[in-house]
Chains A and B, each alone.
Chain A
């Protein structure tokens, strides 16, 4: 399917698109954008996908017509969230099967002009805030087939807007769930921090049960203004029957700081295109990745760290643990523009293999046009060191406990970079859970 398709899947063809528009209550400007995007989607279906990004992802197993957007708003199921209860949140938005089922924000934040809620509702009330950014700067609909598909059919999503000089201390929580077999979620996360604003958004995705197939075709856009400070976390924890595709991009202006943590624990097949774009002088982008793949999971990342201005710094650290017949692919690229002198770019991926049937591929790359820069990259992959297991066991730890400690220790260097305790705790709990499977 990385080749051209020509006709759209039945559940996302013209008739489905018109029915989708019909059943929604979007304002005119959004309908216009959707129609343009749908036209692009049809064009893009006739074009092959970028082989550099897609050649290691086997899309043949993915049958999009097995999934459809659901018109019915769920009653709001009880969801087994991992983050909730771990921290005090000042706002919470939940989406289920593409519909927003709850949305709250602390009154003190509203007073300061913070907007936090559901995109489908906010396009009616906050066009002036959203329109300049919504799929205009970070992820454009014409980027590829998936971006256009999302732009035509997005179902909702969490929006966070923080005005100039406003700093939101407590984290905010966004939950995206799929609870019905064959359901699709096309949620769009949009974060806009004006100059000198700061915030932390913790987002998690999960499934209602272990067996219902689902599709997430998401998009994340993070806009970090001058001197602004964003911490964004996405914990991907779908069941192993779910397909996860996402275009994710963060733009950082002068002296802004973005710390972005992604974790991939779930999904049958996941492909995430993650871009860090450092547009302003002195801006910093830090990326932390935690992946734990088991069974036959296939997790793929395509990351780009783009330096467009002087004295920018990017730092990406991905850690992957693989077991069973899982496969992880990371294709990473650092791009440095001619004018981006004195930049510092770093990328590294370390994989720990718990079984010899798993496979990890790491392909780092550099495209550097400036001459006065420091860019380094590295990748390692190795089995668990049996000497470590023996040493731990000789102190009374069971083999399982020893493996657990070694895996936790392997992730520790990336945990050490995550300042939010709730996230560290959640990840570590998830690792314990995943270690249990199949043992």
Chain B
């Protein structure tokens, strides 16, 4: 059976403010989707809502992963079902070593019924795997002993997200601007890294403002978000259009959504 992530009529509030106003999207294993849209259009909100961030409340609609309703599940349960979010702004956890964190993470993901205190993935096996993955992402092994994202440069944090993706091997990965703030070598490592990781087993949603990541990982679908809705879906040529011409034409094609987008911007500014 091909895995399916199904988002239906999703409405999401942040605190009391409605941000997503009916998002519909289906991602199947093996597919790459690009999600584009202007700043503030709701891309990260969708990503957080999928991952289960407590501040993002689903007020209507459903998210299903292979038939399981995610709405009521906490972020850990969603992760254990195979969902992964590479954060636009990865969080620092002082004093927690990357290796310890990842060992706990993969132990839970690979054994979803694992309870706290139960056995972890054997150390030797874990170390070997971590070393290999770090090697293929051109990361120095000393990062494994550093504290999670503490003192990491912007690019190092993004690479750490990809390393986690590589270790956790989710069914569905959402990459929220993983290519932002990277120098061109780093974009290449991250893009190539992602190419190696994707395949028929994984569905990917790439949120991006840039071309490079999509050149390495060509999407079958491109979606444009505006004012909290997906207003257009096309193929890679839609992404190309936006890269070349910006959002002006799209706004003209969707005046209502464009107006709503401006409203949200006015409220939050």
Chain B neighbourhood of A392, CB < 8 A: 93, 101
Assess A393 versus B76: contact at CB under 8 Å? Given A386-B54, A405-B101: yes
Q: List 23 A-B contacts (CB under 8 A).
A: A386-B54, A388-B92, A388-B93, A390-B91, A391-B91, A392-B101, A393-B74, A394-B52, A394-B78, A394-B79, A395-B108, A398-B76, A398-B108, A399-B74, A399-B76, A400-B116, A405-B93, A405-B96, A408-B96, A409-B93, A409-B148, A410-B95, A412-B94
Task: Give the CA-CA distance A405 to B95 in the complex, in Å.
Answer: 9
Task: Give the CA-CA distance A406 to B54 in the complex, in Å.
Answer: 18
Task: Give the CA-CA distance A399 to B100 in the complex, in Å.
Answer: 16
Judge if B119 is at the interface, Cβ distance under 8 Å. Answer: no
Residue of B80, B87, B101, B164 with most partner-chain A CB within 10 A: B101
CB distance from B171 to the nearest CB of A (A): 13
- Interchain CB contact under 8 A, B96 and A412: yes
Choose one: A390, A396, A410; the contact of B108 (CB below 8 Å). A396
Judge if B168 is at the interface, Cβ distance under 8 Å. Answer: yes
Task: Give the CA-CA distance A175 to B116 in the complex, in Å.
Answer: 31
Judge if B109 is at the interface, Cβ distance under 8 Å. Answer: yes
List the B residue with the shortest CB-CB distance to A405: B96
The residues of B with any CB-CB pair to A shorter than 8 Å are: 51-54, 74-76, 78-80, 84-85, 87, 90-96, 100-102, 104-106, 108-109, 112, 115-116, 147-148, 164, 168
- Interchain CB contact under 8 A, B105 and A409: no
Chain A 403-437: CB-based contact to B (< 8 A → 1; otherwise 0)? 01110111111000000000000000000000000
Chain A neighbourhood of B104, CB < 8 A: 396-397, 401, 405
Task: Give the CA-CA distance A406 to B95 in the complex, in Å.
Answer: 8
Choose one: B74, B87, B109; the contact of A391 (CB below 8 Å). B87
Chain B neighbourhood of A390, CB < 8 A: 51-54, 75, 91
Task: Give the CA-CA distance A304 to B85 in the complex, in Å.
Answer: 48
- Interchain CB contact under 8 A, A412 and B90: no
- Interchain CB contact under 8 A, A391 and B93: yes
Chain B neighbourhood of A169, CB < 8 A: none
Chain A, 360-394, CB within 8 A of any chain B CB: 385-388, 390-394
Choose one: B75, B84, B116, B164; the contact of A393 (CB below 8 Å). B75
List the B residue with the shortest CB-CB distance to A392: B93
- Interchain CB contact under 8 A, B168 and A395: yes
Task: Give the CA-CA distance A396 to B53 in the complex, in Å.
Answer: 13
Give the dominant DSSP class at A's interface.
Answer: helix
Chain B neighbourhood of A405, CB < 8 A: 93, 96, 100-101, 104
Chain A neighbourhood of B87, CB < 8 A: 391
Total residues of chain A contacting the partner, CB 8 A: 26
Residue of B75, B80, B84, B90 with most partner-chain A CB within 10 A: B75
Chain A neighbourhood of B96, CB < 8 A: 405-406, 408-409, 412
Choose one: A386, A387, A396; the contact of B105 (CB below 8 Å). A396
The residues of A with any CB-CB pair to B shorter than 8 Å are: 385-388, 390-402, 404-406, 408-413
List the A residue with the shortest CB-CB distance to B107: A396
- Interchain CB contact under 8 A, B93 and A398: no
CB distance from B146 to the nearest CB of A (A): 12
Choose one: B78, B105, B147; the contact of A412 (CB below 8 Å). B147
CB distance from B209 to the nearest CB of A (A): 23
Task: Give the CA-CA distance A400 to B189 in the complex, in Å.
Answer: 35
Task: Give the CA-CA distance A404 to B91 in the complex, in Å.
Answer: 17
- Interchain CB contact under 8 A, B51 and A394: yes
List the B residue with the shortest CB-CB distance to A407: B95
Choose one: B51, B76, B78, B92; the contact of A397 (CB below 8 Å). B76
- Interchain CB contact under 8 A, B164 and A395: yes
Task: Give the CA-CA distance A391 to B98 in the complex, in Å.
Answer: 13
Chain A neighbourhood of B105, CB < 8 A: 395-397
14 extra interchain contacts, Cβ-Cβ under 8 A, other than A395-B168, A405-B101?
Answer: A391-B87, A393-B79, A395-B108, A396-B105, A396-B106, A396-B109, A398-B115, A398-B116, A408-B96, A410-B94, A410-B95, A412-B94, A412-B96, A413-B95
Chain A neighbourhood of B115, CB < 8 A: 398
Chain A neighbourhood of B112, CB < 8 A: 396
Chain B neighbourhood of A406, CB < 8 A: 93, 96
Chain B neighbourhood of A410, CB < 8 A: 94-95
Chain A neighbourhood of B93, CB < 8 A: 388, 391-392, 405-406, 409
Task: Give the CA-CA distance A390 to B164 in the complex, in Å.
Answer: 15
Chain A neighbourhood of B51, CB < 8 A: 390, 394
Choose one: A396, A400, A404, A408; the contact of B95 (CB below 8 Å). A408
- Interchain CB contact under 8 A, A412 and B95: yes
Task: Give the CA-CA distance A400 to B168 in the complex, in Å.
Answer: 20
Residue of A397, A406, A410 with most partner-chain B CB within 10 A: A397
Choose one: A387, A412, A413; the contact of B91 (CB below 8 Å). A387
CB distance from A156 to the nearest CB of B (A): 38
Chain A neighbourhood of B164, CB < 8 A: 395
Chain B neighbourhood of A394, CB < 8 A: 51-52, 75-76, 78-79, 84-85
List the B residue with the shortest CB-CB distance to A400: B116
CB distance from A298 to the nearest CB of B (A): 26
Task: Give the CA-CA distance A394 to B93 in the complex, in Å.
Answer: 13
Task: Give the CA-CA distance A67 to B77 in the complex, in Å.
Answer: 51
Task: Give the CA-CA distance A291 to B134 in the complex, in Å.
Answer: 36
- Interchain CB contact under 8 A, B79 and A395: yes
Task: Give the CA-CA distance A388 to B93 in the complex, in Å.
Answer: 6
List the B residue with the shortest CB-CB distance to A413: B95
Chain B neighbourhood of A398, CB < 8 A: 76, 108, 115-116
- Interchain CB contact under 8 A, B116 and A413: no
